[in-house]
Amino acid sequence: MNMSDGEKTEEQAVVQQQVVQAGLAATYAQTGDAGATVAEDAGQAVAISDITSFDESTGTATLSDGTTATVVGYDANTGNAIVDLAASFVGGNYQWGAEDPTTSTFDCSGLVQYVYAQNGITVGGHNDLAILNAGTVVDSSEAQAGDILWWNGHVAIYAGDNMMISADNEQYGITYREISPGATYVRY
């Protein structure tokens, strides 16, 4: 059963946006086509408009007819992979404009851009505003490991438990530390 946007409940809209925001439906996120295939039910294509709930731990979508489907491209470990790769550079060097994994030298947006790219995700560019504008802002209560933290002039990677991985400055380099106040949470 396909519902038009006018018939869609607010709850369904939130669930469907959650699927897209979490990067679980790359086809939909890239095309913006509400009819794009985002899940498969026994090999049959399912549109995002049919999804009524979503279980992030399993990648299973419940459909409007009560059946379930697996979301295409879902990987519950993507956030962890982002954090793990970023953490491998902790102790590295900060250099403005840098994105050099061979020497563990990055600036803040270079670190974010590189780590995301290694996980198959393209962020807005090598600057904080491009990264903010191309992502989706989420409430801090919905934050997941691997989300991006944004401040005017700076970005970092949310590591979970109020911690972040950040290419801070020449003095401190790449650090694992508590989140600085005033962060905006951004999801790709």
Task: Print pLDDT tens along the chain (188 aa).
Answer: 344 444 445 655 555 555 544 443 332 223 233 333 444 444 455 666 677 776 665 666 777 778 777 665 555 556 778 998 899 899 999 999 999 999 999 999 999 999 999 888 899 889 999 999 999 999 999 899 999 999 999 999 999 889 999 999 889 999 999 999 999 999 98
Collect all residues with Cβ–Cβ distance below 8 Å to 186 and sequence separation of at least 6.
Answer: 131, 132, 135, 136, 137, 138, 147, 148, 149, 150, 155
Strand segments (E) across the chain: 37-41, 44-47, 51-55, 60-63, 68-71, 93-94, 99-100, 105-106, 136-138, 148-151, 154-160, 163-169, 173-178, 184-187
The pLDDT score that the predictor gives to residue 140 is 92
> What domains does the chain contain, in order, with CATH numbers?
10-71 (no CATH), 78-187 (3.90.1720.10)
The pLDDT score that the predictor gives to residue 175 is 94
How far apart CA 159 and CA 18 sit, in angstroms, is 20
Global pTM exceeds 0.85: no
The pLDDT score that the predictor gives to residue 45 is 58
The pLDDT score that the predictor gives to residue 20 is 46
Backbone dihedral angles phi then psi of residue 109, each to the nearest 5 degrees? -75, -30
Find where tokens 């050099």 sit.
100
